[in-house]
Structure 1
Amino acid sequence: MSILGIDEITFGAHDIARCRQFFLDWGLTLVEETPLRLVYESLNGCRVIVAHSDTPGLPAGIEADPTLREVVWGVANAADMAHYGAAMQQWPGFVQSDARVGCTDPSGLTIRVQISRKKDIDLDCAQVNTWNERSRVDQASPAYERACPIEVGHVVLFVKSLEAVTQFYQEVLGFVISDRYPGRGHFLRCAPRGGHHDLFLLQLPEARNGLNHVAFTVRDHHEVFGGGLHMSRCGWDTELGPGRHPISSAIFWYFNSPAGALVEYYADEDELTENWQAREFTPGPTMFAEWAIKGGIDGETRRQKNAEAPSGRFMTDKPKA
């Protein structure tokens, strides 16, 4: 019995029109729309909702909008939902219905648990040739004109009390710590077997509650690049990327989001089991990124932003002295 992953997230925002275009460019499918509410789906049915800040009944935010208002976690069946409902009964904001159970976590974030609506999908993904294994034969690697995210893979939150929030997710929802920045950050996964993290909690020196970013899983690193280049062509601003995280091994690209903080494309994270031993790291630039491009890549020139545009010549096509 364990949480399967994120089934739905809700943002609160003021600029609905700008959010509408951003998530369409991001690659999500708009399935419902009213003047105050947008509902998107990823490829596997994971939902992203953007609600106007004035929407009646919208869960309270952990910081001023735009930000994340709610995270809904998925489970396999009604028995699992009842199990987590019993575990959450003592927590503030507890609610229970036929469709969902939930409460407020120690950071003030509204969380819910429901029977997962996500569907299993089978996708063609890039094969990688290494020195030892040649899995791609007579086949070129894919190139993507844009990304179509598979699901919301993880959320990253700033918290005032790292230990209290971590304890909640471990004891109430059964999460497991994958790696640590002692006293500063915890990477948690939903179950002993799974991707490196579904939730990352960060405690800043000036401790506060808030959203750092929401991450969307794509097929492979080529789709990270294709999605990022498309967002660049659409005029959206890169915060950092592309790059690679050494802790989770994932390839990433972060964009500034009108729905709050950052959103990330990522692929190729580590897959862990119950045999994994959590590691401890000292925060620093080499731990966050093995390599990364500040400001991103221009979608037209395919060069770092503000770099000289390509001339069309071969790189070695230079006049002799």
Structure 2
Amino acid sequence: MTRFPVRALRSVDLGTPDLDRSEQFYVTIWGLQVVARHNGAVYLRAGGCDHHVVALHRSERPELRAVTFRVGSADDFTVLASNVVAQGGQIVSPPLANPAPDGGIIMIVRGPEGGLLRFVHGDVVHAAALSWVDRPQRLAHVNLNSVDADATAAFYEKALGFRLTDRTRMMAFVRCNSDHHAVVIADASVNGLNHVAFLMPDLEQVMRGSGRMIDAGFPIAWGVGRHGPGDNVFAYFIDPAGFVIEYTAEVLQVDDDYKFRGPEQWVWPPGRTDQWGIAPPKADHVKAAQVAIPYAG
């Protein structure tokens, strides 16, 4: 299979006006665990090997601070930096020792649409917590809004070495490993965060996690259903700060033989929003939440 310089999506940095409430939600309800505190930020791990999957920061408004990816080797930093600049991005910080608790070497860039992207190598990892049956294992994907989704997808391909897996009328799906997608780019009127998806062990655990959310007073915002591109099961929620988050499972695994499909092939019957035909149309308040989170700064 193609060698990707970026090997995986690792974590997101979120700004929240009520840090204590956000921490309580993600630990006691969503299913993460505090692994570190540093310079006012709270680092939360899932059940897999990543040091953390969410870093919460105090901010005046809900915002996406950064998206972090893991690179394959230290040599990949040089190629990535050159390509980022050639494709209209900016090097905010060259590869340096990372002072945060996850360690390793880190490079920070700003994409053409304004969002910060962090690339790490040699970061701290954990032994997988196999007992976390109905808790997230890692991030599955991050969905970003873009005023020019094709241009943003091209940046991920040409600057970062991702591959375009599928393109629907509204979204471009790009990958950096065998997962069908690590990043989804949605056509939107603004740039920013659409939602963050957390991988659960299987469909059963998506349902059990969704039940825990409902018991805690957080209704399903969209779903449960099965997506088209990626074939993954989904259940969407809105967290206390207004971030749209997703439990997902059974993400399609692909290789170089996967056949790209475009908007003319990804067509649902009228009124249908998922493969099964059971997910209701997305409510207006959910659509509004998916375009409400800007990039920091």
By the TM > 0.5 criterion, same fold? yes
Give secondary structure in 2 for the equivalent of 1:94: strand
How many Å apart are 1:282 and its aligned residue?
A: 4.0
Q: Structure 2: state its 5+ residue gaps.
A: 97-104, 282-297
- Cα deviation per residue 1:60-83 (whole Å; 9 max; x = unaligned)? xxxxx3132100100122112333
Give secondary structure in 1 for the equivalent of 2:236: strand
Please tell me whether residue 102 in structure 1 is matched to residue 108 in structure 2: yes
Please tell me whether residue 271 in structure 1 is matched to residue 257 in structure 2: no
How many Å apart are 1:247 and its aligned residue?
A: 2.6
**In structure 2, which of residues 114, 118, 121 is the aligned counterpart of residue 115 of structure 1?**
121
How many Å apart are 1:123 and its aligned residue?
A: 5.1
Give secondary structure in 2 for the equivalent of 1:168: helix
> Taking every aligned residue pair, what percent have the same amino acid on both sides?
25
Paired residue for 1:310? none
Q: Which moved more, 1:25-34 or 1:83-92?
A: 83-92
The answer to whether the 8 Å contact 1:178/1:196 transfers is yes
**In structure 2, which of residues 184, 197, 201 is the aligned counterpart of residue 200 of structure 1?**
184
Paired residue for 1:53? 59
**In structure 1, which of residues 26, 29, 32 is the aligned counterpart of residue 30 of structure 2?**
26
- Cα deviation per residue 1:69-103 (whole Å; 9 max; x = unaligned)? 10010012211233323322452243213221121
The answer to whether the 8 Å contact 2:115/2:192 transfers is no
**d(CA) in 2 for partners of 1:278, 1:168:** 18
Paired residue for 1:69? 65
Give secondary structure in 1 for the equivalent of 2:136: coil
**d(CA) in 2 for partners of 1:237, 1:15:** 21
The answer to whether the 8 Å contact 1:84/1:113 transfers is no
The answer to whether the 8 Å contact 2:220/2:236 transfers is yes
* Higher Cα Rg, which structure: 1
Give secondary structure in 1 for the equivalent of 2:75: helix
Q: How has the CA–CA distance of structure 1 residues 120 and 273 changed in structure 2, closer, same or farther, with 3 Å as cutoff?
A: farther
**In structure 2, which of residues 42, 45, 51 is the aligned counterpart of residue 41 of structure 1?**
45
**d(CA) in 1 for partners of 2:39, 2:68:** 23
Alignment of 1:287-302 (within 5 A): 288-293=274-279
Give secondary structure in 1 for the equivalent of 2:221: strand
**d(CA) in 2 for partners of 1:290, 1:9:** 30
Q: Aligned residues, how many?
A: 260
The answer to whether the 8 Å contact 2:150/2:172 transfers is no
Q: How has the CA–CA distance of structure 1 residues 20 and 119 changed in structure 2, closer, same or farther, with 3 Å as cutoff?
A: closer
**d(CA) in 1 for partners of 2:110, 2:212:** 37
How many Å apart are 1:287 and its aligned residue?
A: 5.0
The answer to whether the 8 Å contact 2:163/2:174 transfers is yes
TM-score by length of 2: 0.79
Q: How has the CA–CA distance of structure 1 residues 180 and 100 changed in structure 2, closer, same or farther, with 3 Å as cutoff?
A: same
Give secondary structure in 2 for the equivalent of 1:108: coil
How many Å apart are 1:180 and its aligned residue?
A: 0.7
**d(CA) in 2 for partners of 1:93, 1:75:** 16
RMSD: 2.5
**In structure 1, which of residues 213, 216, 234 is the aligned counterpart of residue 216 of structure 2?**
234
Please tell me whether residue 83 in structure 1 is matched to residue 79 in structure 2: yes
**d(CA) in 2 for partners of 1:78, 1:92:** 19
**d(CA) in 2 for partners of 1:155, 1:246:** 17
The answer to whether the 8 Å contact 2:166/2:172 transfers is yes
- Cα deviation per residue 1:103-143 (whole Å; 9 max; x = unaligned)? 11122110011115345749599xxxxxxxxxxxxxxxxxx
**d(CA) in 1 for partners of 2:246, 2:69:** 19
**d(CA) in 1 for partners of 2:243, 2:66:** 15
How many Å apart are 1:185 and its aligned residue?
A: 1.6
The answer to whether the 8 Å contact 2:77/2:95 transfers is no
Paired residue for 2:293? none
**d(CA) in 2 for partners of 1:292, 1:101:** 43
How many Å apart are 1:33 and its aligned residue?
A: 3.8
The answer to whether the 8 Å contact 2:69/2:118 transfers is yes
Q: How has the CA–CA distance of structure 1 residues 178 and 124 changed in structure 2, closer, same or farther, with 3 Å as cutoff?
A: farther
Q: How has the CA–CA distance of structure 1 residues 8 and 151 changed in structure 2, closer, same or farther, with 3 Å as cutoff?
A: same
**In structure 1, which of residues 131, 152, 157 is the aligned counterpart of residue 144 of structure 2?**
157
How many Å apart are 1:264 and its aligned residue?
A: 0.6
